[in-house]
Structure 1
């Protein structure tokens, strides 16, 4: 039996990159995966098609998470869809992966840009958890995708770093709050991962060398490296781990 057989998982930002890798892996482990997307409907549908082509179960739901109203739309659509397709509106696993980045320095960041990145990276996960507390089964899992920048100083993307620091704090507090229900809450902290977000600079000889040299393992991270960790934490194998910030940087800057 697969480790997540019979489980239902919501992966935000599941249409590409790390989120796509997580969605594919959770489905491979047996979960029915809700692939959330913001604006990339076609990409999300391709992920769903790939999952179904390999015998898995998945569906795509679109919602913009830059406002609480968008979070509410996602939750309501998810409830209605699950009730129609499965006869239930409960989930077992919530993966808060959706996020936006910035290349702006402290000096360059405007108030509008600051508010926008906090809206998606911090406010959305906060209110998504708030609105799914009654949907999340006892013994379930919440996994927040944070970043290695909370351990490694990258002051040239200050606002982004602050959002991930907030996610780590949220993870710790939520683990304590939901512990009595048997729900584990952990954060996974990726380093440099080979995704389309990083493609422009990473897919150059200089970028490849720089990224590989950062890791103690001498290579660049892949979405599957992060997805496997999330799958482990989502399964019964990760039942005794909660409130932790799992470094998934390949030993960068040790």
Structure 2
């Protein structure tokens, strides 16, 4: 992540928010949750950056709903994660995966006494299978609903003074990445916009990140599908 690796042990705090809007049979349903995440740079390891991610607060819309209560309890599985991040600013390894597996055993044992049924058993099985393959865990944590807003595939050693554009592929669609300075050169902006989406179920796709020098201070991702809209945001708060 840009400018999070100096000095060692330096802490940065971000608020991450996700909103999912579903359109089902003329019915609109919205889910929202947010997390406060402390990010610590611990060291370098195997040519990668070593980070500790600590979630200190979870907030969910409609917290009295039974499904939300369960989701909040499940969220604690990921409240302390140690990862390795490559030069492309993506998570490539989970340092404390064994600890996470033990944490999941405790959480699932506790929840299985209160929650029954095929749906919950299927969900637990999905998590069990996920934790058995580190690459899948990395993909999950790299998703924007987890830590993909922080480790966003954009790596900056310095912000360029000139506007730059390039075409890349994300989620199977062609997008245009534009890097430029805004506010009279005081801030940097990276904007990623879909060029064509015909070959996927994605109707619209936008990513915007704002930087102060190379410090990531704000980010926004919007993904639009036929029956669902997903919005993810990031804000540096300290």
**Alignment TM-score, normalising by the size of structure 1:** 0.29
Higher helix proportion (structure 1 or 2): 1
Larger Rg over CA atoms: 2
Higher strand proportion (structure 1 or 2): 2
